[in-house]
Amino acid sequence: MKITGKYNFEIKKCEEGYVVTGKTPNKKGTIITQGRTQEEIFDMIADAYMCLFDIELSWWNKLLCKLMIYRIK
């Protein structure tokens, strides 16, 4: 799948943090993700697009994502 082009997503504030909906450049795919903080939402947007395009994450990145999700504040 071609990854070049313009990406369109919308970030909305909700009770628990942020919700994002977006489309791929060819308008054939859709992403929906959420995050609690501004930092987390942009990480989640990147992860959602990577999953959409079947881009594999290294085991290290997967571990860091799990630690981020289950961190204690």
Does the model's pTM come out above 0.75? no
Residue 67 corresponds to which tokens in the numbers above? 């630690």
Q: What residues have CB less than 8 Å from 9, skipping those under 6 apart?
A: 20, 21, 22, 23, 31, 45
Asked whether residue 1 is domain-assigned, the answer is: no
Asked whether residue 36 is domain-assigned, the answer is: yes
Number of domains in the chain: 1
At 17-58, the pLDDT tens digits run 999 999 877 777 788 999 999 988 998 898 888 888 888 877
Asked whether residue 33 is domain-assigned, the answer is: yes
- State mean pLDDT over 62-71: 66
Asked whether residue 48 is domain-assigned, the answer is: yes
Structural domain of 32:
8-69
**Sorting pLDDT into bands at 50, 70 and 90, what band is 5?**
confident
Asked whether residue 2 is domain-assigned, the answer is: no
Do 58 and 47 touch, CB atoms closer than 8 A? Answer: no
Asked whether residue 3 is domain-assigned, the answer is: no
Asked whether residue 27 is domain-assigned, the answer is: yes
Please give the residue that has the higher pLDDT: either 24 or 1.
24
Asked whether residue 65 is domain-assigned, the answer is: yes
